[in-house]
Structure 1
Amino acid sequence: MKPELLEPLKGADDPSRYWSHDKDGVVGDGKAMLVPILTYRSPGPADFRFLGTGFFIAPGIVATAKHVIEAFEPGRFPLIFQFEQENQVSMRRVHEICVHKESDVGILRVLGEKPNHTNKCAVLTSRKPQAGSLAFTSVVANTKVWADGPGQSIAMNVENFRGKVVQQFPTGRDRVMLPWPCYQVDFHLHGGGSGGPVFDAGGEVFAINCASHTPETDIAFVTSVDMLLGCIIQNIVIENKSYTTATIRDLVDAGIVLYT
């Protein structure tokens, strides 16, 4: 990975102002929970394409927006980059997907590069922030891929965007475009930020980035994280517990996904 300085996107804020905490209570900037979601072509020359942002909610389980998953193309392999210590990243292949039938959320299961590959996990919350409440998102929307000899080089920045909740729609904003529980927020939501976590003032995730009214404006809509609970995964073993079929709600009940 070749270092390159990328200019901040419009509306990006000072990262030192932000914090979140994982399911073990460790406070940090949230970067270790975030993943850029890409596809690549193989065999043949390297050809990476960024599609959006996701975040870990359990070991090997990534939440994102359904429309990011639906952008996966036949003949291309989906993967994530996981941020490690000292600005290192590891590549993890996606081996299972699940999308919610009635909202814009989905789940990816990823393979580890090494045995017992670990990751930081976000804390989800059932709290419903009211209009005027702080809302911020951390995303990997500022990316660049360019030809570098026979392959490609990649640059990517994690950036934070701060705003507030403008309005809550408990049963959906409308019947066609956003008919599920969601919020309007006023932070800048750039292309590539779809699927990223939306945090409240307590550093917990209450929503997932869905869409902006017009590209790169501060009229954005985010899906309630509650919609993740109905996503189904198959044949999973986590922390020595085996599940043939399990919803995210089942993993919450088992203490694997933290939902306060």
Structure 2
Amino acid sequence: MPDELLHNLGGEANPSAWHFAGSQGPLPNPVGHTFPLLTHDSTGAWRLIGTGFYISRDGLFVTARHVIDDVLDGDRQILPLVIMHLRSESGLFGPQEYLLRPVMQCWLGDNADVALGVAAHTINNRTGTALVHWSWSLSWVSPPVGSLAATYAFPNHSIEQTASGQLFRFRPDLYRGAILDVGDFRDGILVPYPYMHVGFHIHGAASGGPVSSERMVVGVNCRFMDPHGPGVIAQIRCLQDSFIDNAFLLGETLERRVTFSELVAAGAVAVDGYFQNSVPTQNGRLVRLDNVPITTAGPMLEVIMQS
């Protein structure tokens, strides 16, 4: 088997197959649970700003707060934000196409470098069924120092300007290392939140990607302490006081604010070993991210999968 498998996806998938509740138009069917986050400027030039990952089957996702800060001026959105889905019929064997899915809102940690986001709700235009996709399970149990951890992300990429427009080349890959340290607080400036140190390099665009141990997510990529590390991870438990607005749980009919604890209790988010107040209170704020629409077509894309 070759070391690399090239998938030339061309441009954005047919945007007429799906419809989402929002103002920016339709989008097709996403499958993958870990994805690049993109924005574009006023000239239509796309830029990769980080990685995100789903924690529910219907669009709840997590990334790093500083990734979302890239499209904000204070609490005001100044650039569009979209999830780039790499889609295949089975979810396996590399992507067949991609699509762009807008983000509606995000809870941002005040101290912790984490964000809980809501992607646009999506309905199939032909069948009327709601879109579902793969998602990560979370673990509220901190891994012991010395245990293995890994992240999957999209840091190795290049952008080429061609006669037909921008061409993105992604090389998503798995990065492995050991858990070096775990704590509720490291310092008051760089890492003022529950953290882990890891022994793998966190590249720039890997920010916001999932850190897993024993096949469940225990943290979020935040930063790498140059030049020799360690990598700094926000514990996934930093989400304990997060919330989303304009939501309703199964059996409810009125939209309201829903807390992370309620999402877990309702089974919308799968968390192993969950209990409240497991870390110091993690305050945060909610920002709307559906105020600046996408105004240009997506770039061409090649994905080189490591076999």
What's the TM-score bracket when you normalise by the shorter of the two chains? 0.7 to 0.9
Matched letter for residue 103 of structure 1 = A
Matched letter for residue 192 of structure 1 = A
Q: Deviation of residue 47 (structure 1)?
A: 1.0
2:80 corresponds in structure 1 to 77
Q: Deviation of residue 46 (structure 1)?
A: 2.9
Matched letter for residue 193 of structure 1 = A
- Kindly tell me: are residues 66 and 256 of structure 1, through their superposed partners in 2, closer, same or farther at Cα, counting changes over 3 Å? same
Q: 2:8 aligns with which of 3, 7, 10?
A: 3
Matched letter for residue 77 of structure 1 = P
Matched letter for residue 198 of structure 2 = V
| Bigger RCO of structures 1 and 2 (CA < 8 A, at least 6 apart) | 2
User: Which whole-Å CA distance do the structure 1 matches of 2:119 and 2:167 have between them?
Assistant: 23
1:180 corresponds in structure 2 to 193
Q: TM-score, normalised by structure 2?
A: 0.69
User: Which whole-Å CA distance do the structure 1 matches of 2:99 and 2:123 have between them?
Assistant: 10
Partner SS, residue 46 of structure 1: coil
1:250 corresponds in structure 2 to 262
Greater Cα offset, 101-110 or 140-149: 140-149
Identical pairs, percent? 26
Partner SS, residue 203 of structure 2: coil
Q: Deviation of residue 210 (structure 1)?
A: 0.9
- Kindly tell me: are residues 111 and 238 of structure 1, through their superposed partners in 2, closer, same or farther at Cα, counting changes over 3 Å? farther
Deviations 1:192-218 (A, max 9, x none): 011100000x20001111110016x44
Matched, 1:94 2:103: yes
Q: Deviation of residue 153 (structure 1)?
A: 1.7
Q: 1:148 aligns with which of 146, 156, 162?
A: 162
2:220 corresponds in structure 1 to 208
Q: Which runs of 5+ in 2 are unaligned?
A: 1-6, 10-30, 89-93, 125-129, 273-307
Matched, 1:33 2:33: yes
1:55 corresponds in structure 2 to 53
Contact 1:3 1:155 in 2 (8 A): no
Structure number with bigger Rg: 2
1:236 corresponds in structure 2 to 247
Q: Deviation of residue 219 (structure 1)?
A: 1.5
Q: 1:120 aligns with which of 120, 130, 134?
A: 134
Partner SS, residue 108 of structure 1: strand
Partner SS, residue 226 of structure 1: helix
Matched letter for residue 154 of structure 1 = F
Q: Which runs of 5+ in 1 are unaligned?
A: 5-30
Q: Deviation of residue 61 (structure 1)?
A: 1.2
